[in-house]
Amino acid sequence: MKKRALQISLNDNIAVALDRFLAGEKVELYNIEDQFINKLTATEEIKYLHKIAVRKIPINEAIIKYGEVVGYSCKDIGAGELVHTRNMASKPQQD
């Protein structure tokens, strides 16, 4: 069966894993209307309901979920990486 992730809003840069993914596994991206959007590869383990970057997110860029800013990247994040406490925070990094 296809393993899916949900990109809730069109301009979200993360998707929510609807399955557990291992490094190297294919992720089928769907929107909330259940339409196929794209494919990408998980570059590390992504647990069920955790966030996966759907494109490159440079440091201090807004993390968008539900079409709204829910935090900022505190490291450069590659497409297919896990987005969580290690590389995301409420506020941008101060120089």
Partner 1 sequence: MKLYGFVRNDDKVGFRNKVLLLPAVDCVNDITYKIAQSFDDVSTFRFSTGCGMLPEDVEQIMHTQVNVAANPNIAAIVIVGMGCESIDLEALYERIKLLNKPCSLVKLHSEGGYNNFIDKVKRLTNTYAEDISKARREIVPISSINLGLECGASDPASGISANVALGKAVDLIIEMGGTAIFSETPEAIGTEKILAKRCSDKNVADKIVNIITGYERMIKTKTGRDVRSANPVPGNIKAGITTLEEKAMGCILKGGSSKIQEVLDYAELPSKKGLIFMNTPGFDAYSLCGLIAGGTQIIVFTTGKGTPCGTPISPVIKVISNTIAYNQQKDITDYNAGMLIDGVKNLEQITDELMQLIIDTANGTKTKAEILGVNVMDIWPLYGTF
Determine the residue type at 43. Answer: T
Please tell me whether residue 8 binds partner 1 under the rule CB under 8 A: yes
Query: With binding defined as CB under 8 A, does residue 37 bind partner 1?
Result: no
Give, as ranges, the residues between 48 and 77 that touch partner 1 (CB under 8 A): 48-51, 63, 65-66, 68-71
- Note whether 26 binds partner 1 by CB under 8 A: no
Among candidate residues 9, 14, 7, 2, the one with its CA nearest the CA of residue 61: 14
CA distances from 93 to 35, 46, 69 (A): 35, 25, 15
Instruction: State the pairing for strand pair 26-30/4-6.
Output: parallel
**Which residues lie near partner 1 (CB under 8 A)?**
4, 6, 8, 16, 18, 32-34, 47-51, 63, 65-66, 68-71, 83-85, 88-90
